[in-house]
Amino acid sequence: MKMPRAAAALAVAGLWPALAGAQGLEGRWSLAFQGGTDLELSGNVHEGGTGTVLNLPTSVEARSFGDVYGQGFRAQLEVGYGVSSAGEVFLRGSYYRTKSQTLQVGTVAGLVLNADFADYKEWGGEAGYRRYFRVDKPLKLYVGALAGLRFVSELPSTFSVPAAGVVLSDVPFYDSSTVGVFGADLGISYDLGEKVALGLETGPRYQTGLADLEGLAGTGLEPINDTGSRWSMPILATLRVRF
C-alpha cells in the first residue's frame, strides 16, 4: 500500500503548480499605481460663430481640446479584487491637469482675436471590470470596461486683440462641472514575481459636456460654449502589487 500512496503523493505534487495557476486572481486583492498622459481624440472647447464684441464684427472658429491644451499629466490609484480566476473588479481614483496654449480663435474687425483658457484640472472616480487572457503566463493581455464621474474645475478665458491693445480678462466660460465618463481598457501586464507586475494601459474614454456660463451674453456668441464633451485615450504605465 505504500507504493500507491507514494505514487499519489507524487501525482499531486506534479499537479500542484497547475492547480495553483488555475486559481489565478480569485480572492486576491491588488493595488495599482498608474501615471501617464491623455491623447485628445475629438471634442471642442468651443464651437464657431459670429457676433459683435465692443460693437465690432467678430468671427470665432471652432477649437478642439487638442488645439487649446498641451500634453498633460494623469495619475491614478486603483484597488482591485479577483472575482474569478481571470476576472477582476476595480475602483479607481484619478487626477489630471494640463495647461492651455494661447492661440488665435478668430477675428474682431479683421484683427486677430486670441484666447487663453485657464488650466484644465479634474478629479474623478471610476468602477469597472477587467478580464485577463493567458492568466497563468507571466505576460498577459487584458480588456476592461468602466464608468464613473469626473469633477472639472471652472474654465474662464482671457480674450485679447493685441493689435488694438484690448484685453478681456477672466471671462466666465465653463463653470466647475460634474461629468460622466465611460470607457474601455486594453492593457498588457508582465509579472516580475508572484506579487509584482509592470504594465502599459490605454483605451478610449468619452466624457460628457461641461456646464457653460453666459460670459459672452449680448455678443451673439453665446452658443459657442454649448459643448465641452470630449473623446480621449490615456496612455498609462502601471505598477501593480497583488496580495
94: in domain: yes
Q: Which three cell numbers stand for residue 232?
A: 480621449
Q: Terminal CA-to-CA distance of the chain, rounded, Å?
A: 40
CA 71 to CA 202: how far, in whole Å?
A: 16
Range of the domain at 171: 27-242
Number of separate domains in the chain:
1
Q: What is the DSSP-derived secondary structure letter of residue 163?
A: G
33: in domain: yes
CA 168 to CA 156: how far, in whole Å?
A: 11
pLDDT tens-digit map of 7-21: 444 444 444 333 334
CA 80 to CA 26: how far, in whole Å?
A: 11
C-beta separation of 105 from 113 below 8 A: yes
8: in domain: no
Region 72-78: what's the mean pLDDT? Answer: 98
The pLDDT assigned to 23 comes to 58
1: in domain: no
Region 166-173: what's the mean pLDDT? Answer: 96
Strands 205-207 and 155-161 turn out to be unpaired
Residue type for position 141:
L
128: in domain: yes
22: in domain: no
Write phi, then psi, for 21 (nearest 5 degrees).
-65, -35
pLDDT surpasses 50 at 220: yes
The pLDDT assigned to 24 comes to 87
pLDDT surpasses 70 at 168: yes
192: in domain: yes
Strands 73-82 and 29-42 turn out to be antiparallel
Region 44-66: what's the mean pLDDT? Answer: 96
Q: What is the DSSP-derived secondary structure letter of residue 217?
A: T
Helices (H) and strands (E) in the chain, counts: 2, 17
Tell me what percent of the residues of the chain surpass a pLDDT of 70. Answer: 91
Q: In what order do the strands lie in the sheet with 103-108?
A: 49-53, 56-60, 103-108, 111-117, 155-161, 166-174
Region 157-172: what's the mean pLDDT? Answer: 95
Q: Which three cell numbers stand for residue 91?
A: 475602483
* CATH of residue 59: 2.40.160.20
Q: Which three cell numbers stand for residue 140?
A: 498577459
72: in domain: yes
pLDDT surpasses 50 at 240: yes
